[in-house]
A = this chain, B = another copy of it.
Amino acid sequence: MADINREWLLVQRPQGEPKPSDYQWRESPVPEPGPGEFVVRVLYAAMDPAIRGWMDAQGNYMPPIPLGTPVRSVVLGKVVKSNVDAHPVGQIVSGLGAWADYVVCKPGYVGPVPVEWGHDLTTYLHPLGAVGATAYYGLFEVGKLKDGENLLVSGAAGGVGSLVGQMGKIKGCKVVGIAGGAEKCRWLTEELGFDAAIDYRATKDLSAEIRKHFPGGFDVYFENVGGATLEAAMDNMAMHARIAICGMISAYNDSHDPPPGPRNMWNILVKRAHVEGLLVSDYMHRAMPGYQQINDWIKAGKLKFKVDVRDGLENTPEIFNKLFTGSHDGKLLVKIGDA
């Protein structure tokens, strides 16, 4: 156990992509838990696009990260000191933490993960964590995907997108993913079983390309990207199509001057479409049935996933920015400590 606590503080609201000067490195003693608190040694931090929104002054679905405090992040770690019976020392937990060696936690925001299922710990930050719950509840509760429907996924090679597409295949759907680069597209079709993948970087007319695969339109679109991708998708809705808006990473660094929305909003009426926003936090209190199903699929070899584990708390700001350039390969995690 490190005998100091190293943390990345947010000291300035980023303009566009975060810069090194937006952060400050702090070293201080390992914290002690107060009454009703416990201290977690962070083992992994998950690099989620949502963090970028929390860095802005207006916040989004969570309050902004206060300047001068550690960057909020989903983490997985081990309880090392505890004043809470339900969270004894040694328990492996996950939930809202920070880019730090140690975080002080309260019950509710951080809870135990089902280590008895025997997976590598990183799995609890991907298919058996918020990523998997987002895919599962977004696809089946918000998107209301039915067996055999036509499913379009953007950000398809990302953590959520790659699970969404595979869940669609498990349900007998025709699945088309949108991703950036030939290698990612090859992974989707050859390894994950997507019916097709569209490389948006190599595509001049994304709308027409989607239409080639879905001449009658898609039933469900799982949206991780936004912007021009959303507009192209909205050209290709089947009657009563559903769009689950999970993320809009294309705009996350433009929050002060967001790009125009889709010009074809009118199609929502024509197609009696249903567009709904999704935040996994609404589902976390009842996520266990989803995790159990996902665990079964993993054990049956039906659900593959990739984690891209990078090393070191000290590199976290730099690693985080890879989210926005697409230069990562699987769910991006930072390894911070050893179990």
Interface positions of A (Cβ within 8 A of B): 60-61, 226, 230-231, 245-248, 251, 255, 258-279, 282
Contact = CB atoms under 8 A, between A and B. Distances in A.
25 contacts: A60-B266, A60-B269, A245-B268, A245-B269, A246-B269, A247-B269, A251-B266, A255-B266, A258-B264, A259-B263, A260-B260, A260-B261, A261-B261, A261-B263, A261-B265, A267-B277, A268-B277, A269-B277, A269-B279, A272-B276, A272-B277, A272-B278, A272-B279, A274-B274, A274-B276
A61 B239 CA distance: 9
Contact of A226 (B248, B259, B265): B265
A266 B247 CA distance: 8
The 4 closest A-B pairs by CB, nearest first: A261-B261, A260-B260, A269-B277, A275-B275
A98 to B, nearest CB: 22
A260 B258 contact: no
Nearest to A258: B263
Given A231-B261, A263-B260, A276 B268 contact: yes
A42 to B, nearest CB: 27
A260 to B, nearest CB: 3
Contacts of A262: 261, 265
Contacts of A264: 258, 261
Nearest to A264: B258
Nearest to A273: B277
Given A226-B265, A226-B266, 11 more contacts: A61-B269, A231-B261, A258-B264, A260-B261, A261-B265, A269-B278, A269-B279, A272-B276, A273-B276, A274-B277, A275-B276
B274 A275 contact: yes
A61 B273 CA distance: 12
Contacts of A245: 265, 268-269
B265 A230 contact: yes
A264 B248 CA distance: 11
Contacts of A248: 265-266, 269
B276 A60 contact: no
A231 to B, nearest CB: 7
B60 A270 contact: yes
Contacts of A278: 269, 272
A194 B269 CA distance: 26
Given A260-B261, A263-B258, A265-B245, A282 B272 contact: yes
Contacts of A270: 60-61, 277, 279
B268 A275 contact: yes
Contacts of A263: 258-261
Contacts of A271: 61, 277
Contacts of A276: 268, 272-275
Contacts of A255: 266
Which of A273, A275, A278, A282 has the most chain B CB atoms closer than 10 A to its own CB? A275
Contacts of A230: 265
Which of A60, A245, A270, A277 has the most chain B CB atoms closer than 10 A to its own CB? A277
A276 B275 CA distance: 6
A258 B279 CA distance: 30
